């Protein structure tokens, strides 16, 4: 499996495991897990052919560690980024003083008014470093980086979660905690 194929399968896995498992008529359990063997066979029926070993390589080498197996590799799920409701049993954590969010200028006015909202996902996604936030923003155009005063939010009682792959998540960020 070459890099291009790995990327293509990875994107398909994100679609299935985060947004629409019904695309291949698979069911995720309440914690977001899909049965690995069933995933492989249902993907194959849709022309996305890969083996268990391919999948293990994708999970191991994915640039953002987007997916995880259970202890015996019989189940797989996405570590974060879901739009469907799943209980990831996310761990709460104390955030650093500042976290970053990459967006684009056309959203800034709304963010000034409403703060950062989770939109179609389960959480607002924040990064620990500006470079990552820049990459996130670049998906939509010229990135605009917002600085979130997460330490202050935490002091005020707002809960933060840290996903298995190091993404900071929270329910919303009121505008008063954002440095534009
Ligand atoms: C914006 C990728 C208007 C927000 C990335 C963003 C990330 C508002 C967009 C992960 C708003 C939502 C998540 C408001 C927020 N008014 N626009 N009040 N509040 N927005 O994709 O953070 O590569 O759901 O700025 O790397 O861009 O897929 O969130 O532009 O970690 O693993 O609404 O997805 O990860 O977009 O990206 P998204 P995001 P993967």
Please check the confidence at residue 1 and state whether its pLDDT lies above 90. Answer: no
What six digits make up the tokens of 172?
A: 């919303």
Q: State if residue 62 touches ligand 1 by the CB under 6 angstroms criterion.
A: no
- Minimum CA distance residue for ligand 1 atom 29: 125
The ligand 1 atom nearest the CA atom of 14:
28
**Cβ 42 vs Cβ 25: under 8 Å:** yes
**Cβ 169 vs Cβ 160: under 8 Å:** yes
Neighbour tally for 177: CB within 10 Å: 20
The ligand 1 atom nearest the CA atom of 125:
22
The Cα 115–Cα 148 span in angstroms is 10
pLDDT in tens, 54-107: 999 999 999 899 999 999 999 999 999 999 999 999 999 999 999 999 999 999
Closest CA to 36 of 68, 11, 73, 1: 73
Q: How far does the centroid of ligand 1 lie from the alpha carbon of residue 88, in Å?
A: 19
Instruction: Give Cα separations from 175 to 83, 114, 147, 178 (angstroms).
Output: 23, 6, 11, 5
Average pLDDT of the chain, as a whole number: 97
The whole-number pLDDT of residue 59 equals 97
Q: How far does the centroid of ligand 1 lie from the alpha carbon of residue 103, in Å?
A: 7
The Cα 20–Cα 14 span in angstroms is 9
CATH class of the 99-179 domain in this structure: alpha beta
- Minimum CA distance residue for ligand 1 atom 18: 111
The whole-number pLDDT of residue 102 equals 98
Please check the confidence at residue 159 and state whether its pLDDT lies above 90. Answer: yes
Probe residue for ligand 1, chosen from 120, 125, 133, 166 as the CB with the greatest number of ligand atoms within 8 Å: 125
* Domain spans, the chain: 3-78, 99-179
pLDDT in tens, 18-27: 999 999 999 9
Please check the confidence at residue 156 and state whether its pLDDT lies above 90. Answer: yes
Q: State if residue 125 touches ligand 1 by the CB under 6 angstroms criterion.
A: yes
Probe residue for ligand 1, chosen from 16, 19, 81, 99 as the CB with the greatest number of ligand atoms within 8 Å: 81
The ligand 1 atom nearest the CA atom of 102:
25
Strand order in the sheet with 91-92: 91-92, 161-162, 168-170, 124-126
CATH code for the structural domain at 3-78: 1.10.10.970
* DSSP classification of residue 94: P
The whole-number pLDDT of residue 18 equals 97
The Cα 90–Cα 54 span in angstroms is 27
The Cα 45–Cα 107 span in angstroms is 39
């Amino acid at each position: 499996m070459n890099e291009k194929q790995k990327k293509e399968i990875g994107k398909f896995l994100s679609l299935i495991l985060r947004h629409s498992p019904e695309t291949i008529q698979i069911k995720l359990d309440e914690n977001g897990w899909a049965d690995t063997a069933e995933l492989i066979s249902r993907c194959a029926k849709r022309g996305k052919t890969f083996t268990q070993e391919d999948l293990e390589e994708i999970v191991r080498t994915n640039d953002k560690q987007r997916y995880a197996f259970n202890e015996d590799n019989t189940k797989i799920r996405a570590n974060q980024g879901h739009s469907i409701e799943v209980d990831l049993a996310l761990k709460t954590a104390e955030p650093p003083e500042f976290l970053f969010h990459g967006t684009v200028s056309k959203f800034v006015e709304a963010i000034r008014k409403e703060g950062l909202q989770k939109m179609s996902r389960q959480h607002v996604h924040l990064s620990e470093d500006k470079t990552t936030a820049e990459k996130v923003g670049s998906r939509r155009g010229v990135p605009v980086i917002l600085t979130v005063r997460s330490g202050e939010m935490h002091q005020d009682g707002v809960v933060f979660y840290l996903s298995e792959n190091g993404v900071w998540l929270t329910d919303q960020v009121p505008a008063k905690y954002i440095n534009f």
